[in-house]
Amino acid sequence: MFDVDIWQEIFSTIRKNKLRTFLTGFSVAWGIFMLMVLLGSGNGLSNGVKEQFAENAVNVMWMWTGETSIPYNGLKEGRAVKFNNQDYDFLTTKSKEVEKVSSRYYLPNDILYSYGKEYGSFETSTCYPSLKEMENINIKSGRFINDLDMLEFRKVVIIGDEIRKALFKEEDPIGKYIKIGGVPFYVIGVSQSKKRNQDNNRSAYMPFSTAQRIFNGGDRVHTFTVTSKMVQTVEEAEAINEKVRLDMANRHAFDPKDKRAMGSFNMLTEYIRTMKIFQAINLFVWIIGIGTLIAGIVGVSNIMLILVKERTKEIGIRKAIGATPFSVISLVLLESVLITTVAGYIGLVMGVGLMELINFGLEQATGAGGAENVFFKNPTVDFKTAVSATLILILSGALAGYFPSKRAASVTPIEALRDEN
C-alpha cells in the first residue's frame, strides 16, 4: 500500500520546485487559516450570546399586568388587571403550555435591610423554589427556598453576595437573623451570580407565601415567571405566548389583543430568533471559508496542470517503458494531496492556534477584571470541525489533482516523447 518510490518521486519534484510548491501551499494554507478564523469568530459570537441567555433558562417567560386599553365585553378601558393566587393554581394545574411557575409579590424598593449596625436598601425577589432553576440562581453557601418554607410561611431569606458584604463583612451570615422592613428573617443561604458585579448579587430571595402574608399582599401576584415547554420554531414559541395570554384574558376579562392589560416577554422566542441568526452567520462563514478554500484548490489545480505540462516528456518516457495510466494518475494525484494536506494542515494549526490565543487573551482580560458581558466567548474551533476540515483538505487535494492527473494519463507516449520541454 505504502509505496516509497512514489513518495520519493513526489519529494524530488517538490525539491526541484521549492518556490512554486511554497506558493501553491500558501494559497491552500491561507484558505484553511481564514476558514478556521471565521469559524472560530462565529463560535465566539455564538458562545457569547449563549452565555447571555445562560443567565436564565432559555424557555423562561415573564408576565405582568397593567390597565386595559381596549373596551372588552361591556367593560370600559382603564380597568386594572391583577394576577392572583388562583392564576398560579391555574397555571400549575391546567395550563398545558407551562411547565414551572413562580409568582412574585413586589416589596418596596426602598425596604431597609439591617443587621446590627449595618443597613442598606436592596431588591427583594419573592418567589417559589422553582425560580432557582428558571433563573439559574447560583447558591454560594447554604440553600435555596424549599417547599416546606413555602408551606409553613417561614421567614427565611437568601441574600445576594453584595448584601452579605454590606451587612456581614467577613462574618458568616448563615444562621443569623437580619431585619427586612423591620421583620426578622433567618438567613439560610447566600447567592452569587456566576457573572461578577451583577444586580442579582444585590437581590435577596424570600418565600412568596411569607412575603405575601407578612407584607399584606392578600392573594395579589405582581408577576409570574414561567417556563414553557421547549419548541424549535419562533412560531411555536409565539403560539405558546398567545395561548397563555388567551387563558389569562379569559380569566381576567380583557381583550387578548390588549398588550397593556397584560405584558409578557418570552425568552424562547428571542433565543430561537438569535440562534437562527447564528445559524445563518455560521452558514455564511462556511460559504466564505469554502470559497476561499476553493480559490486555493483552483490554484493548486492550475499549478499541477503546469507541472503536468512540464513533465509531459517524463510521463511519455515512463509510459513507453511500462507506466500504466493508473500509475501516472496516482503520481500526480498524490503529489496534489500531499501539498494540499500539509499546507492546509499548517493553515489549520495556525488558525486554531490564533483562535486559542485570542481565547487565552479574553480569559486573561476577564480574569483580570477587564471586559464584562462580552458578546465574544471561547472563539475556538471544536475537534469535530477540525477533523471535518482535514477531511475536506484531503478531498480538496484529490479534487485539485484530479484534472491534471487525467490530463497526464491522457498524454500519449509519442506526443510526449516529441515534447521538447
The binder of other proteins chosen from 74, 322, 367, 369 (CB under 8 A): 322
Other residues' Cβ atoms within 10 Å of the Cβ of residue 30? 20
Among the listed ranges 320-328, 349-357, 377-385, 393-401, the one in contact with other proteins (CB under 8 A) is 320-328
Other residues' Cβ atoms within 10 Å of the Cβ of residue 83? 24
- 19 near other proteins, rule: CB under 8 A: no
Residue number with CB closer to other proteins (74 or 322): 322
The binder of other proteins chosen from 5, 73, 170, 383 (CB under 8 A): 5
Alpha carbon separation from 375 to 44, 46, 278, 331 (Å, rounded): 8, 8, 13, 49
SS3 101: strand
Among the listed ranges 119-127, 206-214, 322-330, 388-396, the one in contact with other proteins (CB under 8 A) is 322-330
Please tell me the count of residues contacting other proteins according to CB under 8 A: 24
The binder of other proteins chosen from 10, 13, 249, 352 (CB under 8 A): 13
Please name which of 154, 158, 145, 150 lies closest in space to residue 189, comparing C-alpha atoms: 158
Residues ≥6 apart with Cβ < 8 Å to 29: 296, 343, 344, 346, 347, 350
- 247 near other proteins, rule: CB under 8 A: no
The binder of other proteins chosen from 320, 365, 391, 395 (CB under 8 A): 320
Q: State the minimum distance, in angstroms, from the CB of residue 19 to other proteins.
A: 17
Q: State the minimum distance, in angstroms, from the CB of residue 8 to other proteins.
A: 9
Alpha carbon separation from 57 to 11, 50, 119 (Å, rounded): 57, 11, 33
- 368 near other proteins, rule: CB under 8 A: no
- 230 near other proteins, rule: CB under 8 A: no
Instruction: Locate 403 and state its grid cell.
Output: 484534472
Residue number with CB closer to other proteins (322 or 367): 322
- 16 near other proteins, rule: CB under 8 A: yes
Strands 156-160 and 183-191: parallel
The binder of other proteins chosen from 183, 317, 342, 354 (CB under 8 A): 317
For 404, half-sphere exposure in the C-beta direction (CA atoms, 13 angstrom radius) is 30
The binder of other proteins chosen from 324, 364, 373, 388 (CB under 8 A): 324
SS3 267: helix
Binding site for other proteins (CB under 8 A): 4-5, 12-13, 16, 313-314, 316-327, 409, 412-414, 417
